[in-house]
Amino acid sequence: MCHIKIVIRFHRISSSCKSLLSSLQQVFHRLSLRLLHEHPFFSRRVGPLPIFFIIAIVVTVGLAAGIPLALLLKTHPAIDIDIKALSHTDVAERDWKYIVIHHSATPEGSAVVFDDFHRNKRGWRNGLGYHFVIGNGTQSGDGEIEVGNRWIKQLSGAHAGDRYFNRNGIGICLVGDFDKDEAEGPTERQLESLEMIIHHLSDRYDIPISRVIMHKDVVENHTACPGKNFPEAELRHHLRDFLVSNDASRAQS
């Protein structure tokens, strides 16, 4: 019985597909005849084929090759980072209350480069002022998360321009200048890594979304960091999804 139904349904689907295809075929046939007869450009020939057919072939091949390629470029594989192992520290952890997001305001960089600058140019004994640096593919990997000395030793940061936030806030810096006039923001991989690390840290130290802040929120009119092109709304939207589900799973357990 069921088998018959499936066969009938399949037959209906295939016959409706056939009729759709044949009407499309007729439309295409009529259109090509008109174009070939009425427009001299389309009836022109390159070798044995009229230009119209060459255009049709190029468009078809282009779409067939272009769509999978575009999908492939868009859905790059997720970054394989063991965030728990990466952020593990052997010393007693501090009771972190905030996460403060920065950009480096430089087109290039890495933890090593900023560490050198902070240690030798600024004269900071503990070097790199941030706890984490997320690379943009210039001097470290695109989306690579580097862990600073201040995180490993659980020291106050030197990033917020404010003693309380340096002591209580985890400083995360994304390499790049997101305050330029050309709308240049973080890379997709940088944002993926940022979300990943925020998920982990907010879970571990019970930091709510309201305490995930931008550097510019610390002291009013002090800085534009992480820049006008940083997609704060998009980040908050993604975090809300996560933190809501996180709260729900906590309530269940």
Residues that bind Zn ion (CB under 5 A): 102, 215, 225
Q: Which two tokens stand for residue 160?
A: 């917020």
Nearer CB in complex with Zn ion: 81/224: 224
Instruction: Please state, in angstroms and rounded to a whole number, the distance separating the CA atoms of residues 1 and 223.
Output: 73
Nearer CB in complex with Zn ion: 52/96: 96
Determine the residue type at 61: V
The least CB distance from residue 158 to Zn ion, in Å, is 11
The least CB distance from residue 143 to Zn ion, in Å, is 19
Nearer CB in complex with Zn ion: 118/215: 215
The least CB distance from residue 95 to Zn ion, in Å, is 23
Instruction: Please state, in angstroms and rounded to a whole number, the distance separating the CA atoms of residues 89 and 84.
Output: 10
> How many other C-beta atoms can be found within 10 angstroms of the C-beta atom of residue 176?
28
The least CB distance from residue 177 to Zn ion, in Å, is 12
User: What residues contact residue 246 under an 8 Å CB cut-off, 6+ apart?
Assistant: 199, 202, 203
- Residue 25 burial (10 A CB sphere; 0-12, 13-18, 19+): exposed
The least CB distance from residue 102 to Zn ion, in Å, is 3
Nearer CB in complex with Zn ion: 101/243: 101
Nearer CB in complex with Zn ion: 212/225: 225
Nearer CB in complex with Zn ion: 52/178: 178
The least CB distance from residue 117 to Zn ion, in Å, is 14
Instruction: Please state, in angstroms and rounded to a whole number, the distance separating the CA atoms of residues 176 and 129.
Output: 16
Give one DSSP letter per residue of 98-158, joined into a string: EEEEEE-SSSS--HHHHHHIIIIIS--TT--SSSEEEEESSSS-EEEEEE-HHHHTT---S
Q: Which residue has the tokens 């130290």?
A: 205
